[in-house]
Amino acid sequence: MQVPCATCTYPNPYSMLTITRKLEFDAGHRIPDHNSQCRNLHGHRYTLLITLTGDVVQQDGQSDNGMIMDFGDIKALANEHLVNMWDHAFIVYKNDTAVRAFLDSMPNHKTVVIDRVPTVENMAQVVFDILKGVYNDRFGRHLALTKVTLYETPNCWAEIDG
């Protein structure tokens, strides 16, 4: 529940309060039909930005008083549902049979198979789809995943708004 403060007009109908948590992970991939070097096996240090909206907790004595959600909780949920599985994994398109066969031949290899070519655009969409259900309406605070930004490199990224 949003409660107005003494110096604020809250909630402001023209703005929305958001919070963002940044996480990083390393993963490999390839773009099988690409015309450049990205068709080769390679990896990136991905940076993931998770942006949420929701009600600010206004309850004295609560650990997250004054917060939409504790940043540690955002991280813990993202790690549980995505990052721990993708970190140091090879993310491969389900129809990339040559690479899938190679990865399957390696015992205990950490492989994530997705239903689309693992471009940063497609990976951002998959991330959003996975995390949307994790955060939306959690704790009864009208919490919503509103944006995912996935950096493949410091200069290249994709964003998806909910």
pLDDT in tens, 38-80: 999 999 999 999 999 998 988 898 888 899 999 999 999 999 9
What is the widest separation between alpha-carbon atoms in the chain? 64
The domain limits of the chain are 18-161
Counting beta carbons within 10 angstroms of the beta carbon of residue 142, is it exposed (0 to 12), middle (13 to 18) or buried (19 or more)?
A: middle
How high is the pLDDT of residue 59? 87
What Cα–Cα distance (Å) separates residue 157 from each residue in 53, 133, 143?
Answer: 22, 23, 25
Task: State the Cα–Cα distance between residues 70 and 143, nearest whole angstrom.
Answer: 12
Q: Is 0.85 surpassed by the pTM of this model?
A: yes
Question: What's the CATH code, domain 18-161?
Answer: 3.30.479.10
Lowest mean pLDDT among 15-24, 70-79, 88-97, 144-153: 15-24
